[in-house]
Amino acid sequence: MNRTVTVGLDGSPESRAAAEWAAREAALCGLPLKIVHVWEPVPEPVTQAPLLGGETRQHWTEEVPREAAEGLRLRHPGLEVVTDRLTGNPAHALTEAADSAELTVLGSRGFGGIAGFMTGSVSLAVLAHAERPVVLVRAGEQAADEHKPDPAGVPSEAAPFRPVVLGLDLGTPDETLLGFAFGAAARRGAPLRVVHAWSEPPTSFYRFYGDAELAEELTRGQAKALTELLRSWRQKFPDVQVIEASRCGSAAQVLVDSSREASLVVVGRRVRTSPLGARIGHVTHAVLHHVLTPVAVVPHV
């Protein structure tokens, strides 16, 4: 596998925002940036239309990635930027490209003034099928958005990074997911907020006597389990400040609420075979629809 940060570029504002984020991440990782542009063939009669003639096709397949690469080299001195032009189904081509990359970045349109992403079919397909981490970046994402405000209250690239937030299921704690989140926090010199949600006991619905004591006991037990799980990771990454957040409630809601001021949100995706096809899970769906921050989806067993 060639270790690169790969970004899918189609010339849209959201893909250009993704390319800028990918360039910054590649610089943090010390890896080359690969720009992948996929041209999907169209039926012959359509190609005869004036707006889809040979010159237009050449512009999209050659000029767009070339111009993007030149701009990224200027804005990120010292970053190695390469381009790759592919032909075929964009979802299939980008999934194959993702499987041979260290990390893949895709753009997604935002819902205007509402938080979250407009996840298109291509992005959704890559998220659901890629075997390597994929990051989704909304249109309009700026470098300063990932940083805390400066003394004047204005977000600035010169200020420290906002925390990286990891959504963690204690029932399936995967080292790939934990390693990705700790590594992302370490590269940014940012705190890592590990969020774990758990369900309240069924008896609380009936308000039985002793529910308060049981809830307190469960709260302490869940918090202790999270601390024990993270102990070895604190030792591996001693410079990363770890903030533990164990909450009772819906995993999706707790994670969304904990991600308001994050620089990056990291979630896992269980790799499983289903008659209905690959899935990304309801928690990831919720995060994509309600969080403005770039979201990393990390596949794991």
With a CB cutoff of 8 Å and minimum separation 6, the contacts of 240 are 182, 185, 186, 191, 192, 234
Judged by average pLDDT, the poorest of 18-22, 199-203, 230-234 is: 199-203
* CA end-to-end distance (rounded Å), the chain: 20
DSSP H helix total and E strand total for the chain: 10, 11
pLDDT of residue 57: 59
pTM to 2 decimal places: 0.88
Cα(291)–Cα(20) distance, rounded to whole angstroms?
A: 19
CA 273 to chain centre: 22
pLDDT of residue 16: 94
For the stretch 72-121, pLDDT in tens is 999 999 999 999 999 899 999 999 999 999 999 999 865 433 344 445 67
3-class secondary-structure state, position 233: helix
For residues 167-184, give the mean pLDDT.
93
Strand partners of residue 167 = 195
Q: In this structure, are residues 118 and 108 in contact, taking their beta carbons and an 8 Å threshold?
A: yes
More confident residue, 104 or 218: 104
Cα(10)–Cα(16) distance, rounded to whole angstroms?
A: 8
Confidence of residue 296 (pLDDT cuts 50, 70, 90): very high
Cα atoms found within 13 Å of the Cα of residue 74, Cβ hemisphere only: 6
Cα atoms found within 13 Å of the Cα of residue 126, Cβ hemisphere only: 33
More confident residue, 209 or 143: 143
The Cβ of residue 43 has, within 10 Å, a number of other Cβ atoms equal to 7
Q: In this structure, are residues 297 and 133 in contact, taking their beta carbons and an 8 Å threshold?
A: yes
Judged by average pLDDT, the poorest of 23-37, 50-64, 168-182, 249-263 is: 50-64
Cα(198)–Cα(250) distance, rounded to whole angstroms?
A: 7
More confident residue, 288 or 115: 288
Q: In this structure, are residues 65 and 9 in contact, taking their beta carbons and an 8 Å threshold?
A: yes
pLDDT of residue 289: 86
Tell me 59's DSSP state. I
CA 224 to chain centre: 28
Cα(21)–Cα(38) distance, rounded to whole angstroms?
A: 19
Cα(185)–Cα(54) distance, rounded to whole angstroms?
A: 46
**137 pLDDT above the threshold of 80:** yes
Tell me 162's DSSP state. P
Please list the helix, strand and coil fractions of the chain in percent, rounded to the nearest 5, in that order: 45, 25, 35
pLDDT of residue 274: 57
Strand partners of residue 35 = 7, 83
For the stretch 32-64, pLDDT in tens is 999 999 987 765 554 555 555 555 555 566 788
Residue 153's alpha-carbon distances to 144, 150, 159, 190, in angstroms, are 12, 5, 11, 19
pLDDT of residue 26: 98
Q: In this structure, are residues 164 and 263 in contact, taking their beta carbons and an 8 Å threshold?
A: yes
pLDDT of residue 112: 38
Judged by average pLDDT, the poorest of 84-88, 158-162, 207-211, 276-280 is: 207-211
Cα(69)–Cα(76) distance, rounded to whole angstroms?
A: 10
More confident residue, 232 or 212: 232
pLDDT of residue 120: 64
For residues 138-166, give the mean pLDDT.
92
Cα(156)–Cα(145) distance, rounded to whole angstroms?
A: 8
